[in-house]
Structure 1
Amino acid sequence: MRFAALLILLALPLAAQQTADDAAQQLLAANAQLGAAEGADDQVTALTQTVQAYETGLIAMRQSLREITEREAAVASALAARRDEVAGLLMVLASIGQSPQPVMFANPAGPVGALRAGMMIADLTPALRDDVVRLQRELDALRDLRDRRIAAADMLRDGLDSAQTARAALGRAISERQDVPRRFVEDPAQTAQRVATAQTLAALASELAGLSMPEGATLAPAADLPLPVAGIIRTGTRDRPGITIAAAPRALVTSPVRATLLFRGPLLDYGNVIILEPAQDVLFVIAGMAEAFGQPGEIIEAGAPLGLMGGDIGMDDATSRHNQAIDAGQTTQPLYLEVRGGQGPVNPDAWFALE
């Protein structure tokens, strides 16, 4: 399934080539890692890398399709304008040639002026015709790229299917892990009681604060942690002081840092929530996933998968409309990220690289 995605990269324009090259390298590395994986933990690591490589490749493909569509529209518009200019000049030349002699003398500059104007128009016409030919060639080249884009879109569909398969395999590999490091074992009954009594996300976070047995882990805010998912950042509100990340459908959510998983499960209208404790008195609240991985008490490594966003990643035939919808945020999935220190929220930009 990884080699089908590699073929997609052949159809990308130069603007998206660097991203595509990165995706290709990730896929090759993931392929080698999957082949060498011996245990469930190794499989989780390799499959995580595979999913991330697919996501990088899909971003490159969508970017290339947008560029081709926009350029094709611009050239077609310029070509139509040039054709109209040529047609107009040819009509003027024809009318000058058919004008009776009295009309020629009626020109303010006299017959010489009329002839001079005709000669100027005649000189302009070949240049415009050359422009039309050049634009037509460029349009033909873009149409050829469009045909390649259609073929690439078919491969993209295969890549989407493969990414879905990799995500499902990732979920199975995580569920099959047994001997994972833990700091504590949460009682399911206690978890259910906490969820039932928590009226807000803040209340649940406060309840869980200090639950983990500290091991002396320290973490200072340095505004350098990666976001748990790639996307467009939106600021919070009074009720939700964190940030919201508009992510792609079915995007993989990963842990930004090594931490203890304090809570995993649905809560109120937040969807699936994961609360991480990277250091004593510091909590990262991540909410809005369709699927969430891990067990309370588990020690999560940096970059480890936490869950998957919801939404439908299927492509329709109207590729440009699909891409415009993604750009406009109409099909993105919101992931909420909040940082809490002590008993209150902390500005996320103190911890995460938001620029």
Structure 2
Amino acid sequence: MPRFRHKTAGSRSLSLLTAGAFAVLAFHAAGSGASAQERAPDPEALQSIEKELGTAKERQVMLEAQAEELRAEVAKLRAQLIKAAARVQAREEDVTLSEDRLTGLVGAEAVLRAQLSARRKDLAETLAALQRLDRNPPPALAVKPDDALGAMRSAMVLGTLVPQLEAEAREIRARLDELRRVRQDILAERETLSDASGALAAEQQELERLLSAKLTAQAELDERLETEREEVARLSQEARTLSELIEKLEARAAHRLPEARPVRPSARLQAPASKPLSPAEAGPEAPADEDRQLASLPSGRPLISGQNRLFSKARGQIRLPAHGEITKIFGENDGAGGRNRGLSLKTRPDAQITAPFDGKIVFAGPFRRYGQLLILSVGEGYHLLFAGLERIDTQVGQQVLAGEPLGQMAGSEAKNAALKGNVKPTLYIEFRKDGEPIDPKPWFALSERKARG
């Protein structure tokens, strides 16, 4: 948990009161010229000042205790948020898998119905043949010699037709049984999907409650961040390109004192929106200027303490910020004569986005045509960029832990588009080392379902 200074009205009053008390002491001790040697300090005044100082110290202890309680409360809420976000993402995957199974079952039902429909003509002819045999059965062999030949012919026809009819009847029964099972599976899967959707909604509500509680507690502890947010907002207005923005943020950070990374509350707490635009789509960036900017980009102060792992050592070990499918990868042709600088992750509507690694939020908000952009500094000159979120749940200057919620993807409109078969919400992910884009994929622990390329 980062150690924040708690600048409240009470603490400012305490500083003024303490300064005033020492000023009075200095005044009484100094006196005025020769009279300072003739007169001793007023005992009553000294006693009053000592009493004020004692009261001030008591208030200081009380304020420090309150600040410590707030820090503990925020740490507890962050631990709960990490767990809640993990549960939400697990429910999202359950819902997605259930939706996929339901789609497959509905497709299987359509295929079976089409097959049965195509066999209707054959079935009608088979039934007609059976009805004719029922109305005109073959004659008995012992009636007339002429009838014997007819009976033999009828027996030959029946010997060929009956096995065929029986085979067709068995196939039709099997198809009907399969169709019946598929329809039962559809009903069961719809119930499963309903339960999973309800559980997801409940987990999302709990996550919203925890986020609100954390913001309330953090607001009491985070007054010092306001100046930093204003400064970052000013930089974002001045920056013309994304590389220039990172350069300004790093230059600003290089002149600040180092701050400790957040300490995990407990080892057991480790976590097991607008369409994003690729750099080619996000607006013109002069390549020559950008190369010069990237070359002069400082490495930045490390955010990872010695007791915590380094981002450079975490290859293949971190999780994607959301459940989804990678649709575009680093280095692919972007369709505009350039190459992708990151990867695109197609998510479900309302998908929860979490921090893939411990770090500090250095930018959060709209930036040029990237839409809602989030930049996470993870030390060693590495920055993780996320674009396409509809909502951002963090603020500039905040330290976040791996698995902690960062924001959410687009919701109701995206759901309607997904139902119509249109493109799902897409999160754009870009990793940069000393300002230079690098391939993010080697850092993620990917399953075959999520990986591509």
Q: TM-score, normalised by structure 2?
A: 0.57
Percent identity over the alignment? Answer: 23
Runs of 4+ in structure 1 off by over 6 angstroms are: 93-98, 111-115, 179-185, 313-316
Using a 3 Å threshold, how does the CA distance of structure 1 residues 251 and 186 change in structure 2: closer, same or farther?
A: farther
Q: 1:269, CA displacement in angstroms?
A: 2.2
Aligned residues: 300
Judging changes above 3 Å, is the alpha-carbon distance between structure 1 residues 278 and 38 closer, same or farther for their aligned structure 2 residues?
closer
Structure 1 position 301, deviation (Å)? 0.8
Q: Is 1:345 equivalent to 2:382 in the alignment? A: no
Question: What corresponds to 2:242 in structure 1?
Answer: 201
2:357 pairs with one of 257, 281, 288: 257
- Structure showing greater radius of gyration is 2
The equivalent of 1:296 in structure 2 is 396
Distance in 1, matches of 2:404 and 2:439, equals 24
SS at match of 1:187: helix
Offset from partner CA, 1:216-264 (integer Å, 9 cap, x none): 7332262432221121213253375111111111101111111122111
Q: Deviations over 1:153-204 (max 9, x none)?
A: 5545534543542343243133224288999876232112111122222221
The one-letter amino acid paired with 1:208 is L
Query: Aligned letter for 1:268?
Result: R
Q: What is the Cα deviation at residue 94 of structure 1?
A: 6.8
Structure 1: unaligned runs, 5 residues or longer: 1-36, 99-110
Q: In 2, Cα distance between the equivalents of 1:147 and 1:352?
A: 37
| Higher deviation after alignment, 283-292 or 193-202 | 193-202
- Residue equivalent to 1:79: 116
1:220 corresponding residue in structure 2: 312
Change (3 A) 1:268 1:284: same
Helix, strand or coil: the match of 2:312?
A: coil
Specify the alignment match of 1:137 in structure 2: 177
Residues 321-354 of structure 1: per-residue CA shift (max 9 Å, x gap): 96672xxxx2411111111111321122243345
- Cα contact 1:83–1:132 (8 A) shared by 2: no
Are the aligned partners of 1:255 and 1:303 in contact in 2 as well (CA < 8 Å)? Answer: yes
Q: Offset at 1:289?
A: 0.7
Residue of structure 2 equivalent to 1:229? 322
CA contact (8 A) 1:157 1:314 kept: no
| Cα distance change, pair 180–305 in 1 and its aligned pair in 2 (3 A) | farther
| Structure 1 residues 139 and 201: alpha-carbon distance in aligned structure 2, compared to 1, 3 A threshold | same
1:1-355 correspondence to structure 2 within 5 Å:
39-91=76-128, 116-117=156-157, 119-152=159-192, 154-155=194-195, 158-159=198-199, 161-178=201-218, 187-209=228-250, 211=253, 213=258, 214-215=301-302, 217=304, 218-220=310-312, 222-235=315-328, 237=334, 238=338, 241-312=341-412, 325=421, 330-353=422-445, 355=451
Query: Structure 1: which amino acid aligns with 2:352?
Result: L
**Counterpart of 1:232 in 2: which secondary structure?**
strand
Distance 1:314 1:193, change over 3 A: closer
Q: 1:177 to 1:332 in 2, by over 3 A?
A: farther
Change (3 A) 1:63 1:194: same
Per-residue CA distance 1:32-62 (angstroms, 9 max, x = gap): xxxxx99433442343233223212212321
Instruction: Report the CA distance shift for 1:163/1:269 in structure 2 as closer, same or farther (over 3 A).
Output: farther
Cα distance change of structure 1 residues 239 and 186 upon mapping to structure 2, 3 Å threshold: farther
What is the distance in 2 between the residues matched to 1:170 and 1:122? 71
Q: Which amino acid is the alignment partner of residue 322 of structure 2?
A: V
| RMSD of equivalent CA atoms | 3.6
SS of the residue corresponding to residue 123 of structure 2 reads helix
Contact 1:252 1:308 in 2 (8 A): yes
CA contact (8 A) 1:160 1:313 kept: no
SS at match of 1:220: helix
Taking a change above 3 Å as real, the CA distance of residues 183 and 119 of structure 1, as seen in their structure-2 partners, is farther
Do 2:77 and 2:210's aligned partners in 1 also have CA atoms closer than 8 Å?
no
Q: Say which is worse superposed, 211-220 or 283-292, in terms of deviation.
A: 211-220
Contact in 2 for aligned 1:252/1:307 (Cα 8 Å)? yes
State the distance in 2 between where 1:201 and 1:50 align.
Answer: 33
> Comparing 300-309 with 180-189, which one deviates more in the overlay?
180-189
